[in-house]
Structure 1
Amino acid sequence: MSRILIADDQNDVLEALRILLKGEGHQTDAVTSLAGVFQALEKKDYALLIMDLNYTRDTTSGQEGLEVIPKIQALDNTLPIVVMTAWATIDLAVEAMKRGARDFIPKPWDNDRLLTIVRTQIELGSALRKGRRLEAANQLLRGNAPNIIAESPRMRPVLEIVSRVAPSDANVLITGENGTGKGLIAQAIHALSNRASHSMITVNMGGLSEGIFESELFGHVKGAFTDAKADRAGRFELADESTLFMDEIANVPMNQQAKLLRVIETGEFERVGSSKTLKANVRIISATNANPHEEVAQGRFRQDLLFRLNTIEIALPPLRERREDIMPLANSFLRQHAKRYRKMLTGFEEKARDVLMQHQFPGNVREL
């Protein structure tokens, strides 16, 4: 179901279009002026705008509508605009398309043709928006699907939980010491999920200062602050229909946790500098090296936020408790680096293996 904005100064036209589009499963909002168009666009996102070109009484030139098309495009150049008028001419249609309209419908309209145009333009607009999101997301990505080495019995329950919960949309909280592979498990969950066709978006919450917290997560509009030279999508917007991995989640300051809770609960947020509410369908995977329940008990983390994050909780064991994985991991790393540096290295001497097996690895897999 798509949301369509209709602009026309005649109420009977608005009602006829509302009934026709409702029959196709669309939601509609109606306005009777061009000022109303801009007010509506500031508050909501629409899949399509159908607008009349004439609003002043006894005006038939279409200039009123033609003049605002570029202004609407400046607000959102992915929004398809279909114009309509009872005073249709070829020249008027061509001029409207030149200024940014996607199609032209004369009044009175043919229902079948109008519905075909609506379907086509909504599909094209959706494809364009997804392409823009993918382009922006690709700039943030690092790496691909993970290769998990886990032969230890301590890791079997972890892999079982991953395989069981990955296909769902349940939020997942991954806990464990630094270097235990929380990011790798997050990648695995995403790769096995129904969202795997979209790129997972990652953000290190511990690295976000309070000054950039909202801008990074929710985006900003041009001019929102000194360095905001252009509109920028935030991580939630980029992760629409995908997965957002929030690392070091326990480091989020208390005063920012309420803002995070709201978007996780509702999927709704506003870019910094804008009052327009956006909505994103995002699966949350978060990670922390802290004990989240202790953080709640100490008053450093909101309990209601923890409830939203840990629908499923996965605790990763430290490497010293999964010693069966030390040599398989070491051999894998050796092969990777031997190939990278073009060295003919095939394994470890017995003394080296003994040293590795006896070491406690306080830094876990990252230290290895």
Structure 2
Amino acid sequence: MSTKRHILIADDDMNVIAGLSFLLQDEGYEVSCVTTAQAALEKVKVQSFDCALLDMNFAKDTTSGQEGIALITELRQLDSLLPIVMMTGWATIELAVDAMRSGAQDFVQKPWDNERLLHTLQTHITLAQSQGLNERLKQQNQLLQQAAHPQLRSDIVACSQPMQQLLTQLEQLAQSDMSILLTGDNGTGKSMLAAYVHRCSARAEQPFVTANMGAIVENLFESEMFGHVRGAFTDAKAARAGRFEMARHGTLFLDEIANIPLSQQAKLLSVLEERKFEAVGSSQSQVADVRVISATNGDLPAQIQAGTFRQDLYYRLNTVELRVPSLRERVEDITPLTEHFLRQFAAKYNKPVPQLSEAAQVALRHYDWPGNIRELRHVLERALFVCRAAQITPDDLAITAGDGVVANVDDPNLTLDEIEQAVLRQRLRHHQGNASETARSLGLSRSGYYRRLAKFGLAEHE
């Protein structure tokens, strides 16, 4: 596994190529050599380099430097961050200016001075690394920023007393840097509330970065969270910033925190305690200047008891622990949420905003919403398309008020998950929550039965 800096040399003089190769290899560089401008372009298309050292003139022309200018322009289109140093034996001020305007970083005249050439290469490689890291940070942060998250309380639908109380607590906590653990069922809006805390905090102008701990492959955990340097492992062809570095001075939201593999929990704990981390393959420590908010729908105390979650990490994460209420605990919010989502989807699909019939409002308020706000969104998005009038009826919602059973499993608009959930609810009710009988009637093993209960957030008393 090589961590050498890789230099591309393009020159039509084999003596120049040999001299440069010997010099650079003795200094620990890896070298690739070509003799034409076209070959240089082909190399850059399929391989990354730390710097390109290019002749200004090739076989077509020996003095004007136009081949070199054209090569710089084409290389810039392939790699905007590649440092380019030009070389020629026919140097003029005008040619040097043209090369720099075209995108070269520097200009060296032949015959070269070894020390000056080495210093020039090292300087531009170091600058490119810094610029490249900043550019990657900017791009990754743009991808990870949650632009749709509300910035003001008025942007959050929260008329119910439990939600008003929760928002007040979060606004107070936002003024500190304390770690917050948000618990509650799936689909209750924990990520939205984490972003709201960030927007209310002194770190509001800094990045808000999300890491879904359940989606990170175990053997890539350190690279994803702490980053890696080029060459740190087989596929590390370029340096990468981890989530802690991307969130510097801002907020890091660790979603699905209960899913961190036990083998990686100690590493996360160490960073949270020491406030320092090292990228994979680097010995240089970086300060972890982030505010950490985490969330889970799991039972962390039970996992601690079972030995699958570290107690010391739990205490480090939950300086303050707040539970986000389920939708069935905030019934007053259902109608305003429904109106909010219908307006949102109508604008998205360029359709008129339908009205809710009184019966539909009753059905929505009496449904138990196992999928919480996420399920409500899906129900309303579907209803917007299936309703045949300017008003949404209970049939359009495909739910039954009072028991939370999907009304008609033959509805062609239902997904496979919705049909499976409906059948599971019906069998649970028919067998009065008897796990063995319900599993047997569905042809499921006990483990398969409980996996489906967990998948849909159902209880055996459904």
- TM-score with structure 1 length normalisation? 0.66
Deviation at 1:221, TM superposition (A): 1.5
In 2, the alpha carbon distance for the partners of 1:221 and 1:308 equals 28
> Which residue of structure 1 aligns with residue 138 of structure 2?
134
Structure 2: 5+ residue runs without aligned partners? 1-26, 28-112, 377-462
Of 143, 152, 157, 2:165 maps to 157
Q: 3-state DSSP class of the match of 1:237?
A: helix
- 1:342 corresponds to 2:350: yes
1:275 maps to: 283
Relative distance call for 1:275 and 1:70 in structure 2 (3 A) is same
Match of 1:216 in 2: 224
Q: Is the 8 A contact 1:145 1:191 kept in 2?
A: no
1:262 equivalenced with 2:258 (yes/no):
no
Alignment partner of 1:198 is 2:202: no
CA–CA separation in structure 2 for the residues paired with 1:330 and 1:155: 16
Aligned partner of 1:253 in structure 2 is 261
In the TM superposition, 1:206-245 aligns within 5 A as 206-245=214-253
- Checking the alignment, whether the CA contact within 8 Å between 2:146 and 2:195 is kept in structure 1 is no
Corresponding residue of 1:316: 324
- Report deviation, 1:337: 0.6
CA distance in 1, matches of 2:140, 2:346: 34
Q: What secondary structure does 1:365 align onto? A: helix
1:367 corresponds to which letter in structure 2? E
Q: 1:293 aligns with which of 272, 280, 301?
A: 301
Q: Does the CA-based 8 Å contact 2:140-2:246 persist in structure 1?
A: yes
Tell me, in whole angstroms, the C-alpha distance in 2 between the residues paired with 1:75 and 1:244: 28
Structure 2 residue identity aligned to 1:342 = N
Corresponding residue for residue 122 of structure 2: 71
SS of corresponding position for 2:264: helix
Q: Distance in 2 between matches of 1:301 and 1:234?
A: 23
- The change in CA–CA distance for 1:171 and 1:73 in structure 2 (over 3 A counts) is farther
Deviation at 1:130, TM superposition (A): 6.3
Distance across 1 between alignment mates of 2:349 and 2:143: 27
Alignment of 1:17-32 (within 5 A): none
1:161 shift after superposition: 0.8
**Structure 2: distance between partners of 1:278 and 1:136:** 19
**Do residues 360 (structure 1) and 364 (structure 2) align?**
no
Q: State the 1:197 CA deviation.
A: 0.5
Query: In 2 relative to 1, CA 76–309 (structure 1 residues): closer, same or farther, beyond 3 Å?
Result: farther
Amino acid at match of 2:305: A
Q: Deviations for 1:120-150, whole angstroms, at most 9, x for unmatched residues? A: xxxxx9xx97676334311333424413111
- Which amino acid in 1 is paired with 2:302? E
Structure 1 CA distance, aligned partners of 2:182 and 2:325? 11
Which whole-Å CA distance do the structure 1 matches of 2:128 and 2:250 have between them? 23
Q: Structure 1, unaligned stretches of length 5 or more? A: 1-34, 36-61, 80-124
Give the letter aligned to residue 353 of structure 2.
L
8 Å contact 2:207–2:248 — kept in the other structure?
Answer: no
Distance of aligned partners of 1:308 and 1:66 in 2 relative to their CA distance in 1, 3 Å threshold: farther
CA separation of 1:65 and 1:173: change in aligned 2, threshold 3 A: farther
Corresponding residue of 1:38:
none
Paired residue type of 2:225? L
Q: Distance in 1 between matches of 2:300 and 2:370?
A: 20
Partner of 1:97: none
The residue identity in structure 2 corresponding to 1:355 is A
Please state how far the C-alpha of 1:267 moved relative to its aligned partner: 2.1
User: What is the CA RMSD across the aligned residues, in angstroms?
Assistant: 2.3
Paired letter, 1:271 = A
Contact preservation (8 Å) 1:244, 1:282: yes
Give the Cα separation in 2 of the matches to 1:185 and 1:353.
26
Percent identity of paired positions between Structure 1 and Structure 2:
47
User: What is the CA-CA distance between 1:257 and the residue it aligns to?
Assistant: 0.2
Q: Is the 8 A contact 1:361 1:367 kept in 2?
A: yes
CA separation of 1:365 and 1:75: change in aligned 2, threshold 3 A:
same
Structure 1 residues 130 and 220 mapped into 2: Cα distance closer, same or farther (>3 Å)?
closer
- Tell me the TM-score normalized by structure 2: 0.53
Decide whether the 8 Å contact of 1:219 with 1:234 is kept in 2.
Answer: yes
Summarize the alignment of residues 163-174 of structure 1 with structure 2, pairs less than 5 Å apart.
163-174=171-182
Kept in 1, the 8 Å contact 2:144–2:208? The answer is no
